[in-house]
Structures are given as structure tokens and as C-alpha cells.
Amino acid sequence: MRRPHAEDVAKRVAAGVAVRGGIRHLADADTVEHEKDDSSEWLHVADDTRRMPVRVSELSRYDRSMATHVIGDVHGCQDELSELLDNLGATSGDRLIFVGDLVVRGPDSAGVVRRFLDGDLAHTTVILGNNEDKLRPTLDGDPTYATPAVLETIRQLSDAGILEASLALFDGFPLLLDLGDVVVAHAGLRPGVPLSEQSRVDLLKIKTINGQPDGAMWWEFYDGRETVVFGHHVFRDPLGLPKAIGIDTGCVYGGRLTAITLETGVFTSVRARATYYRHPGKAYLFE
Ligand SMILES: [Mn+2]
């Protein structure tokens, strides 16, 4: 596969880049350093199941004065989510989209999910994350994701009496949200593959093109028509490339919870109140 803009991308990241009308200066070029992750995150499971992503293009239903806020990986960080929503000052006409990974590793997965079940966030759009996707197979006895963090999340949801409701909620989350110029996916897109042919495993987990920890990241190759807003891969500062906007700034690892407002290109972040989960491959980002 050709690598159209790899050098360009590095230069733009180093220099600071323009994103949809706002200029976002990234602190350092090292925000695109390849990150080591759990072996489980890199595991290429034999999951060839393809499910047509839910395609939504309903911006025309909204008043043009509204704002569309896309929010990064929450991972049970309930306090930071509340603070971020306050800081965004979202009105009832605004649209909220979450990139997925509402749960696992953080302090209050049940509290976060409850807001989406019957609370103030019940009518927002959540993209399925790979962490939501770990729960059902684990309950079915598949040991692949039965980590302490996943088992603890299941316990939290069960203790709160919302385990079944949570699983049903997650079943309704789309793998991809198509807003026209912008698409939202948990992990990203495989470059060169049409939206309708993206695989489930790529939408949930893609990081490098070749699936190896030291391979080139997907966004170094991506040159599709749509700008992709994604989470899943932790950056110290948001990644703001013209075609790829990464907004997982590692709240659960002691970083920040970040949103981007699409109409303005402005990032809004709140600091984590604690390091809730120590990850050997991510700690260096936030020390
Ligand atoms: Mn993820």
C-alpha cells in the first residue's frame, strides 16, 4: 500500500495543524509516537463477522445554530464526564456523540451507563467501543477478555442492577456514524476501504495497518473523503490532522477527557481527578 502523506503528516503535526476552522497546536510531535498496548488489544481475533454499520446522515434535521460535540473515551470516569458536559455548555438543541468505551477500567462504569439508560444522555448517540464489546463474550465464558478490569465492570453493572439493560443498550450502538463530511468510529477506518465495507474488527480496534505494535498507524495512510473522529488510541494531546481527529486523551489513565465541537474545531478538555488505572504502556504520557 502506498503511504501518501506520512512525511507530510509528521511535518504538520510538528508544526501545528488547522482543523475545520480552528487552529489547534499540538504540543509536540511525539503525540504520534506508537504506543505499546495490552497484548489483548493487538490480538487479531478470528472475528470476520461483518455487520453493516448503521449509517446516519441527519444533520439536516438540526438547526444550523446547533453544535455537535464528539466526546472521547469515558471509561467510567463519571465526575470528569459531568465536568466536561458543564464546560461544553451544551444546550438541548446541541448534539452529543460519544466515540465509545463508556465502560471498563474507571471508577464508576455503572454510573456512566445509567445516564445513557434513563438519564440526561438517553437521546445521545454512542458508537460501540471495543470495551462494550468485551462484556457479552466474557459473560458467555469466553476467556479472551476476562481481565480483572472487565470482570470488575461486570460486577459494577450487576451490583447496580443494570447488567442486562446495559448489554441491550450496547447492542444498539452503531459501529460507525456517518455525518457526511465527518464520520465517527471508535478506533478508525482502514485506509482504501469504502465505508460500507469497513470490517467490524477494524472499526473497533484498528491501530496499525499491519496489526503489529510497531507498524504504521492507520491515520498516516488515511486519505479518504471524510474526516474521521475517533477514540481508542490514547494521545497526550488530541490528534488534529485534516482527515483524522483523535480525541482519547487518556482520562482513565490520569490524562484528560476531551471533546471536539465539530462546527468550530475547538477541543474542550477536563483533567482527570485521579489516575484510575495504571497502564505500563500509557503511564509515560501523563507523568
Ligand atoms: Mn477502545
Q: Tens digit of pLDDT for each residue in 41-57? A: 332 222 333 333 334 43
User: Does the predicted model carry a pTM greater than 0.85?
Assistant: no
How far is 144 from 284, CA to CA, in rounded Å? Answer: 27
With cell 445513557, the residue in question is: 116
Helix/strand/coil for 243:
coil
Distance 276 CA to ligand 1 centre (A): 16
Q: Check: CB of residue 105 under 8 Å from CB of residue 132.
A: no
What pLDDT score was predicted for residue 283?
A: 75
Q: How many residues does the chain have?
A: 287
How far is 226 from 28, CA to CA, in rounded Å? Answer: 25
Distance 2 CA to ligand 1 centre (A): 27
Distance 205 CA to ligand 1 centre (A): 7
The class level of CATH for 47-286 reads alpha beta
Q: Is 84 exposed, middle or buried (0-12, 13-18, 19+ CB in 10 A)?
A: buried
- Please compute the mean of the pLDDT values over residues 4-10 and round it to a whole number: 42
- Residue 15 C-beta-side C-alpha neighbours within 13 Å: 9
Q: Tens digit of pLDDT for each residue in 164-202? A: 999 999 999 999 999 988 999 999 999 999 999 999 999
What pLDDT score was predicted for residue 139?
A: 97
Q: Give percent of the chain with pLDDT exceeding 90.
A: 66
Q: Amino acid letter at 238?
A: P
pLDDT band at 12 (very low <50, low <70, confident <90, very high): very low
Domain-by-domain residue ranges, the chain?
47-286
Distance 27 CA to ligand 1 centre (A): 23
User: In this structure, which residues have their CB less than 5 angstroms from ion ligand 1?
Assistant: 101, 129-130, 232
Distance 170 CA to ligand 1 centre (A): 14
CB neighbours of 24 closer than 8 A, spacing ≥ 6? 16, 17, 18, 238, 240, 265, 267
Distance 19 CA to ligand 1 centre (A): 23
Distance 63 CA to ligand 1 centre (A): 31
Distance 64 CA to ligand 1 centre (A): 31
Distance 74 CA to ligand 1 centre (A): 10
Mean pLDDT of the chain: 81
Residues 117, 177, 175, 88, CA torsion sign? negative
Distance 94 CA to ligand 1 centre (A): 25
Distance 126 CA to ligand 1 centre (A): 13
Backbone angles phi, psi at 84, to 5 degrees: -65, -45
Check pLDDT > 60 for residue 228.
yes
Distance 128 CA to ligand 1 centre (A): 9
